[in-house]
Amino acid sequence: QKEVEQDPGPLSVPEGAIVSLNCTYSNSAFQYFMWYRQYSRKGPELLMYTYSSGNKEDGRFTAQVDKSSKYISLFIRDSQPSDSATYLCAMSMFSGGYNKLIFGAGTRLAVHP
Amino acid sequence: EPEVTQTPSHQVTQMGQEVILRCVPISNHLYFYWYRQILGQKVEFLVSFYNNEISEKSEIFDDQFSVERPDGSNFTLKIRSTKLEDSAMYFCASSEGAVQETQYFGPGTRLLVL
Tell me the pLDDT tens digit for each residue of A44-55: 999 998 887 889
- Give Dmax over CA atoms of chain B in angstroms: 40
Closest residue in B to A46 (Cα) is B104
- What pLDDT is attached to residue B25? 95
How many Å apart are CA B106 and CA B98, to the nearest integer? 18
- What pLDDT is attached to residue A98? 60
Q: Does B7 touch chain A (CB under 8 A)?
A: no
Q: Which of A6, A32, A100, A107 to mutate against chain B (most B CBs within 10 Å)?
A: A100
Listed by number, the residues of chain A in 18-37 with a beta carbon closer than 8 Å to a beta carbon of chain B are: 32, 34, 36
Q: Positive or negative CA dihedral for A44, A49, A55, A56? A: negative
CA distance B71 to chain A (A): 22
Q: Positive or negative CA dihedral for B40, B45, B47, B48? A: positive
Tell me the pLDDT tens digit for each residue of B48-86: 998 899 988 999 999 999 999 988 789 999 999 999 999
Query: Which carries the bigger pLDDT value, residue B72 or residue A10?
Result: A10
Tell me the pLDDT tens digit for each residue of A68-88: 999 999 999 999 999 999 999
- What pLDDT is attached to residue A96? 55
Contacts of B44 in chain A (CB under 8 A): 103
- What pLDDT is attached to residue B99? 61
With a cut of 70, say whether residue A1 has pLDDT above it: no
Give the bridge partners for A71, in sequence order: A24, A66
Query: Residue A108 is which amino acid?
Result: R
Tell me the pLDDT tens digit for each residue of B19-38: 999 999 999 898 999 999 99
- What pLDDT is attached to residue A54? 87
